[in-house]
Chains A and B, each alone.
Chain A
Amino acid sequence: MADQLARTHPLEAWLPAFAELTGAVRIDAEPFVSMAVLRAARATTGDLRIRGTALPTAPNTWAPAGDGRLIWLGPDEWLLTSPGTAPEALEEELQTLLRPVGGSAADVSAQRISLRLGGPQARQVLAKGCSIDLHPRVFTAGQSTQTALGQAAVVLLALDEDEFAVLVRSSFAGYLASWLLDASLEHADPALTS
C-alpha cells in the first residue's frame, strides 16, 4: 500500500529542535502510529483479549499489546496503538473482535500524534503544565492519565521511571511541541542556551 503517496508528520518541522535537545530532557515524535478507539460494555467483553492482552479495567492504566499499547480511556473505551499495522487493517481487525460482543472500533490513527518525553528531568517538565501528581511513587510505569498539559488535552503514559508518551490531538501537536521545548529549555545542554 501507499507506495507513492507520501505521508506527512505534523511535527516534521520540530524534529531538528527535538534532536538538538541533549540535556536532561529528551523529546521525540513517534512516527506514524496506527490507533483505533475500542468501545464495548465491560459486561460483554468477558475474557476478550486484544492481541493477547486483556482490556485494562483499572482506570488510568495501560498495558503492552502486540507492537503497541492498549490504553484505558473510560469504563467502556480503550485506545489501541500499533506502529506496524495499517490504519484500516487495525480497524478491521478490531471490528471483527468487537462487533460480536456489541462493541465497535474506529480508526483514529491521524486523530492524535504520540510524543516521547524522556530523561531525568522529564517529570519536572511535565509538572510545569500538568496538575496531576507525577511523583515517581504515584505515577508509575503502567499508569496513564487523560488530563491537560499546558492548554492541550493529552493522554499521558508512564512507560518507565523517566520515560513518557504523550498523545495529543494532531491539530494541537505544534502547540504542544512548542510548549514542551519551551518548558525544557532550562534543562537543556547549557551550550545551547548560552
Chain B
Amino acid sequence: MTSTFRTPEGGRVDRSTTVEFTFDGQTFPGHPGDTLASALLASGRHAIASSVKLGRPRGIAAAWAEDPSGLVQIEEPFPEPMLLASTVELYDGLVAHGLPGQGRLADVPDSARYDAMHVHVDVLVVGAGPAGLAAALTAARAGARVALVDEHSEAGGSLLSGTDRLDGAPAAGWVAAAVAELAAHPEVLHLQRTTAFGLYDDGFVLALQRRTDHLGGAAPRHEARQRVWRIRARQVVVATGAHERPVVFPDNDRPGIMLAGGARTFLHRYGVRVGSEAVVFTTNDSAYDAALDLHRAGVRVAAVVDARPEGSPLRAEECRAAGIPVRTGSVVAGTSGGDRITAALVAPLADGEVGRADELACDVLLVSGGWNPAVHLFSQARGRLRYDEVLGAFLPGERLDGLAVVGSAAGLLDLAGCLADGRRGASAALTALGIAPAAEVRLPTAPEPVVPAAPLVLWRVPDASGAEGSTSFVDLQRDATVADLARAAGAGLRSMEHVKRFTTIGTAHDQGKTSGVLASGITAELLGVPVQDTGTTTFRPPYTPVAFAALAGRDRGRLFDPERVTALHDWHVAAGAVFEDVGQWKRPRYYPRAGEDMAAAVLRECAAARSGVGILDGSTLGKIDVQGPDAAVLLDRMYTNLISSLKVGSVRYGVMCGVDGMVIDDGTVLRLAEDRFLLLTTTGGAAKVLDWLEEWVQTEWPELRVHLASVTEQWSTFPVVGPRSRDVVGAVFPDVDVSNEAFPFMTWRDTTLDGVPVRLARISFSGELAFEVYVNAWYAVAVWERLVEAGAPQGITPYGTETMHVLRAEKGYPIIGQDTDGTVTPHDLGMAWAVSKKKPDFVGKRSFARVENQNPLRKQLVGLLPVDRQTVLPEGSQVVDFLADGRLPPPPVPMLGHVTSSYRSAELARPFALALVKGGRARIGDTVHVPVGGTLVPVEVTSSVLVDPEGARRDG
C-alpha cells in the first residue's frame, strides 16, 4: 500500500518518519501526527466495517470525535474496543480492525497504569481553539491560576484545519506563540490530549488526559497511561467549538460520504486528500471552503450542490473562477456504490418536492448541513438551551454563574468574533473573581469576515426512492433511520427523551453528536411542531467515552479498598493464617495445619479454647477513651444498663440502642477512674459508635463535660482463652495475682512487662476462663510472642474469627449486625437483664414501651439444633412451621424467621444455629423446619445458650 492520497506537502504530520500499522490484516504506512483514519485515507481506504444491524458497509465520516461510524478495535499493543479511527493517534506497530458496532474486551489484564490529579484554578478554559487561546491568554496575563485543556494532540482547534491567517501570516504561527507564552506563565496548566468530559457542581470539571496512548508499545510503563484531572475551577470558560452536522438523504451512509469540514481537516491537518472526485452537498457557505481547498489540492470537484434556491452568489463566483460547477436549489437525493460511493444522485428541490435526479460520478461526497455548537458542558451545568432559527442550532439560552460559553460554542462563526469573544469571556470571569485584567490583551488581526449568505435549515431530503426513509440514516452507528423516527411519531411519542429510547438514536459511542439535533429537527417536522418545542435530549457526562480503568485510577488491585491490618498482621501471615474481610479489616479466620481444611482447623481451635488455651488477635475491636467529670452521666444515657454504678477496676457488658429502641452495638466498659472509661465496641461498630456518641455530646448535651477519643489502634487486644489461660497469663505477668479471688471475673488490673504498661481484663466472649491483654500496639508483637512462648507447654493455640464465632454462638452471644438487623431490641435478644429499670431515661428506653415492641410474636433469638445432628443450616435460611396435621401450609408459606448464625460445634458434637424466630422463646422445645436445598430439615428450638448455661466455666 502506498499513500497515494497524501498531498506532496503541507499538513502537520512528520513526513520525515514513516511508521507501519496493520488494519484488517493489511499493512499500511503512516506518519507521526496521523490518526488511524488519516493514515487509512492517505492510502485510499474509506471502508471500516459493516454496520451493526443491517450489515451495510460504513466508513470514516468525520475527522474527530463526532464520527458516528468509524469504530475500530485495537488488538496491539493492548486490546481495546470501541475507539474511533479518527481519534486514535497513529504509532508504529498498531494493529486494529474495523468494528461492526460491538467490541471485545481484553481477556488479559491491563498492565497500564491510570491515575488522578486534583487541581484548583481561578479560570478553567476548555478548548484551545482561537476563542480558548484568547481566553487563556487573557486570564494568564492577569496572573490568574489558569488551566487550559484541549482534546487534540496540539492546540489550535479549527485554525489547524483551514487556511486562516492572523496578523497576515498563517494562523499556526499565532497558535505557536500563544502556546509558548502560556508555557512561560508559572500559574498556567496547559494540557493537550485532555477532554473535559463532565461538568459538575461548584465548578468541578473532570477531564481525561491521554498521556501515553499515542506512544503505543513504546509508552513508559511507570507513567500513568491516562489521568483523570479533577479540576475545581472558580470560573469556567467553555470554548469547545461546534460540530458540523450532515443532511439526511437516502443511502447517505456509504463509505466515502463524510462531513465537508472533516475532509478539510484531513487535507490541512494531515495532508490527505479524501478522494479523487468529489461532490459537495451543502446548505451553507462553509462547505465552499472545503470544495475550493480540495480543488486546489488536486481533487476534481464534480459539483457543489447547494440546497439554497439562490445559493451563495459570492462563493459561487469563486467556484466559477476555479471551474467548479455549482447547482443551486438542488440536493443529493440518493447515492450509488458498494464498499465506496460511486455516484451522487443530484436533483432539484422545490417546494419540498425532489425533482428528477441525475447521476454525478464521485468517490467522495462531502456534506454540510450547518453547525451545532458544542453546548454539552453548558447543558450539563443545567443551562437552558434555545433554538436559533437562522443557524438551525441550539445555543446557550441563559447566563450561568461561573460559566461562560464563548466562540463557536456560542454560535459565532467568524474568526475575529471568536477571538474577541474568548477575550470577553475571560475578562468577565476575571471581573467576577475580582482579578484585574492586564492592561490590554491585543488580539491578532483576522481578515475582515465575508458576510456569508444565510444558511438553509434542511434536516433531510425527502425520500423519493420509495424506501420511505428506511435508508435515510440519522444515527449511522445505531442503523436508525428517518423511518424509525416516523414509527416513533406514529406510536405517539412526543418527547425527544422517549424518541431517543424508542429509536436508540444518540445512544451510541458518539452520544448523538451528529444525530441528536437532526433527530429533533426531523421529529419536529414529522409532528408539525417548531423545533424549539421538541428540544434536545439531556446532555450527560461523559462527553466522550471514558474507560472504567481511567475512572478507577489507582483504586484497583490491592489499592481498590484499603486493607486495614493489626500490628500482628505479619505474625499471622507467617503462621499461615487464612484471612477474612471484616469490613476493611483483614482478620485471621483460622490457622490451618498441614492437611487441614477449615472445618478441621476450627474444630481443633475450638477444642483448644474449651479444654486448653487459645489466643485471639482481638485488636480490631473498637476502643473509645471517655474522659471528664460527666463521663458516667453520658454513658448512663447511652447504654441501656447502668454504668455509673460500675466501680473503678471493674468491667461491665453494655448494650447501646438507637432512639427507636433497636440494638446498634454492644461491648464491655472498663472503668479506669472515676472520670475515665474505656469502651469496647464491635469491630464493625467502632466508627459508628464514636460518631453516635459525638453526635449526642455535640448536638444534644454540649453542657456535659466529657471528651471522647478513638483509641482503636492505640491498644492491641489479645484474649487468652481457656481453662489453662490462667497458667499462661500468670507466667508472663508474675506481678499479677491471677487467682479468681484476687482477680475476679469482670475486673481489670494494670501491670507492666519489662517496664511497658499492660492492662489485663477478665472478660470472656467464649464462656471460658479468659484474660484480655491490652498493650500499646508498638509492643503488640513482643507481648503476643511472650504469651505464645509461655503457653507452649499448655499447647496454646492461636485461633481465628471462625472459632471465635463458634465459641460465642455456643454461648448465645449475638454479633450485632449478624444476629441482629436493626429491628431487634435487647429484649428480643433475651437481654432484658441488660436493660436498666432504675434509670429514668436512656436512649431507646421510651421505645421499649411502644405497643409494637411489646408484641409477644416479635422475632426472638433462639438456638436451633438440627434433629439429624448432621446438617449445617445455611445462614439466612428461612424457618417454617408445619400445620397441626404435619403438612406445610399452602404457599405462600409463612416465614417464622431466619437463621442468623450456624456452625459445627466440637463441644456439642453436632451442628447448631442461632435464629430469629417469631415468638421464639415460647417455642423452645418445639420442632420447626428449615428448607435446605430441596428438603425440609427438622430442627429443635432451644435456648440460645447451648454450652455451659450455668456459666460455671468462666472462672476456670
A and B touch in the complex (CB under 8 A): yes
Q: Does A85 contact B (CB under 8 A)?
A: no
B754 touches A174 (CB 8 A): no
Whether B713 and A169, one on each chain, are in contact in the complex, defined by CB atoms closer than 8 angstroms, is: yes
Residues of A within 8 A of B555 (CB): 150-151
With both chains docked as a complex, state the minimum distance between the C-beta of B140 and any C-beta of chain A, in angstroms: 16
Are B120's CB and A135's CB within 8 A? yes
Q: Which residues of A contact B118 (CB under 8 A)?
A: 127-132, 134
- Partner pick for A171 among B145, B585, B753, CB 8 A cutoff: B585
Per-residue CB contact flags for chain B residues 582-598 toward chain A (1 = under 8 Å, else 0) read 00010000000000000
| Complex CA–CA separation, A103 to B620 (angstroms) | 28
Contact with B along A1-24 (1 / 0, CB 8 A): 111111111100100000000000
Question: How far is it, in angstroms, between the C-alpha of A104 and the C-alpha of B755 when the chains are bound?
Answer: 25
B438 to chain A, nearest CB (A): 19
- Please indicate the chain A residues that have their CB under 8 angstroms from the CB of B854 in the complex: none
Inter-chain CA distance A4–B732, complex, in Å, is 14
When distances are taken between beta carbons in the complex, the residues of chain A under 8 Å from B709 are 37, 39, 106, 108
Known: A111-B714, A183-B115. A106 touches B570 (CB 8 A): no
Q: Is the CB of A8 within 8 A of B714?
A: no
Instruction: Specify which chain B residues have a CB less than 8 angstroms from the CB of A188 in the assembled complex.
Output: 222
- Inside 8 A of B585's CB, which chain A residues have their CB? 171
B566 interfacial contact with A, CB 8 Å: yes
In contact, B119 and A127 (Cβ under 8 angstroms): yes
State the Cβ distance, B215 to closest chain A Cβ, in Å: 14
The interface residues of chain A lying within 8 Å CB-to-CB of B876 are none
Q: A150 near B554 (CB under 8 angstroms)?
A: yes
* Residue contact B570 to A135, C-beta cutoff 8 Å: no
In the complex the two chains form, is B714's CB within 8 Å of A107's CB?
yes
- Given A135-B145, A186-B224, does the pair A129, B567 have CB atoms closer than 8 Å? no
Q: Give the contacts of B558-594 with A (CB-CB under 8 A).
A: 558-559, 561-567, 569-570, 585
B223 within 8 A of A: yes
Does the CB pair B627–A5 fall under 8 Å?
A: no
- Per the bound structure, the CA–CA distance linking A109 and B715 in Å amounts to 10
Name the segment of B288-296, B773-781, B843-851 touching the other chain.
B773-781
What's the nearest-Cβ distance from chain A to residue B665, in Å? 19
Whether the pair B562, A172 counts as a contact (CB closer than 8 A) is yes
Distance of A179 Cα from B467 Cα, bound (Å):
60
A10–B777 Cα distance when bound, in Å, is 9
B711: chain A residues at CB < 8 Å are: 106-108, 111
Indicate whether B782 reaches chain A with its CB closer than 8 angstroms.
yes
Q: Which residues in B have their C-beta under 8 angstroms from that of A124?
A: 117
Contact with A along B222-265 (1 / 0, CB 8 A): 11100000101000000000000000000000000000000000
**Does B77 interact with chain A (Cβ within 8 Å)?**
no
A110 within 8 A of B: yes
What size tier do the contact residues of chain A reach?
35 or more
Known: A7-B779, A112-B713, A133-B120. A2 touches B559 (CB 8 A): no
Count of chain B residues with a beta carbon within 8 Å of a chain A beta carbon: 57
Q: Is B757 an interface residue (CB 8 A)?
A: yes
B707 with A170: CB separation less than 8 A: no
**Interface presence of A87 (CB below 8 A):** yes
Q: How far apart are A187's CB and chain B's nearest CB, in angstroms?
A: 9
Contact residue among B115, B755, B757, B780 (Cβ-Cβ distance under 8 Å from A8): B780
- Cβ contact within 8 Å between A2 and B222: no
B756 at interface, CB cutoff 8 A: yes
Alpha-carbon gap, A6 to B785, bound state (A): 11
A8: chain B residues within 8 A (beta carbon): 567, 778-782
Q: Let me know if A128 and B754 touch, CB within 8 A.
A: no
- Confirm or deny: B134 has a beta carbon within 8 angstroms of a beta carbon on chain A: no
Q: Which residues of B contact A152 (CB under 8 A)?
A: 562
**B565: A residues at CB distance < 8 A:** 171, 174
Residue pair B559, A150 in contact (C-beta under 8 Å): yes
**Chain A nearest CB: distance from B133 CB in Å?**
24
Which residues in A have their C-beta under 8 angstroms from that of B117?
A: 124, 127-128
| B756 & A2 in contact (Cβ 8 Å cutoff) | yes
A47 on interface, CB distance cutoff 8 Å: no
Q: Of all chain A residues, which has the CB nearest B627? A: A104
Within 8 A of A (CB), among B87-135: 113, 115-120
Q: How far is the CA of A179 from the CA of B559 in the complex (A)?
A: 7
Contacts A6-B781, A8-B781, A128-B118; A109 near B222 (Cβ below 8 A):
no
A-B contact pairs, 25 of them (CB 8 A): A3-B754, A4-B754, A5-B754, A8-B781, A8-B782, A10-B567, A32-B778, A109-B776, A110-B714, A110-B778, A111-B712, A111-B713, A111-B714, A129-B116, A150-B555, A150-B559, A151-B555, A151-B562, A152-B562, A171-B566, A174-B569, A175-B562, A178-B559, A183-B554, A193-B221
**Extra inter-chain contacts (12) besides given A111-B711, A127-B117, A128-B554, CB under 8 Å:** A2-B755, A2-B779, A5-B755, A6-B781, A32-B778, A103-B707, A108-B714, A110-B567, A110-B777, A133-B232, A152-B562, A174-B563
Top 9 closest A-B pairs, CB basis?
A193-B222, A110-B777, A1-B755, A39-B707, A171-B564, A175-B562, A104-B627, A133-B120, A170-B713
